[in-house]
Chains A and B, each alone.
Chain A
């Protein structure tokens, strides 16, 4: 079946360092989303990036479609960036997302 693999599973950084999160998927993704989930909280969409590079604030996502991988770069991390980052694809553009298991990011002051 369709799979989405995220790495690393967890990441601990000092405030101010940059974070690099990876997402690999097993099929062509017509849609690729990055979500943020606060501890014990809901999911919030960060970026939609099925191909190319997109920026928003301190976030940059690069998706190489033919290599079936996407990355999320967080620059100058802050303690409020702590939480879980989830990658999800929609292989058939039907609105049905397949999620990776997430990367738990902890930013130390």
Chain B
């Protein structure tokens, strides 16, 4: 069954600390995405990837890095976490661009609190 799995599901971090959010997909999708969801802003794209070894900046990349070591895994890294990065983070995977109207599949989300 197609799946996108995020870990951890909940995380409390301290300001200035390093946080890594992990995402694994078993869908054999080329594309993977990281979004954050905040009240009043909907979901916003942070970073995305078109395949292993590639990462691209989304609409709000500042303060975040991404890593795509393999087809299945895509990580979001906060090197120096700040309270403004408190949010719910969603990972998604999808087909390569130009391939029809299939929606991406989303993970369950990671709730991050930076204190």
Contacts and interface: CB of A to CB of B under 8 A. Distances in A.
Contacts of B105: 45
A9 to B, nearest CB: 10
A93 B108 CA distance: 25
B34 to A, nearest CB: 12
A48 B108 contact: no
Given A95-B94, A95-B97, A96-B58, A101 B42 contact: yes
Contacts of B45: 96-98
Interface range for B: 20 to 34
B74 interface: no
Nearest to B38: A101
A42 B90 CA distance: 8
A33 to B, nearest CB: 5
Interface string A65-96: 00000000000000000000010100001111
A42 B101 contact: no
Contacts of B104: 95, 97
A86 B42 contact: yes
A40 to B, nearest CB: 8
Interface in B90-105: 90, 92, 94-98, 101-105
Interface in A1-25: 1, 4
Given A43-B90, A95-B96, A96-B58, A48 B103 contact: yes
A100 B43 CA distance: 8
7 contacts: A41-B108, A43-B43, A45-B103, A48-B101, A96-B48, A97-B45, A98-B45
Given A44-B106, A95-B31, A95-B96, 13 more contacts: A41-B109, A42-B90, A43-B106, A45-B103, A48-B101, A48-B102, A48-B103, A88-B43, A96-B45, A96-B58, A97-B33, A99-B44, A100-B42
Interface of B: 31, 33, 35, 40-45, 48, 58-59, 90, 92, 94-98, 101-109
Interface of A: 1, 4, 31, 33, 35, 41-45, 48, 50, 86, 88, 93-102
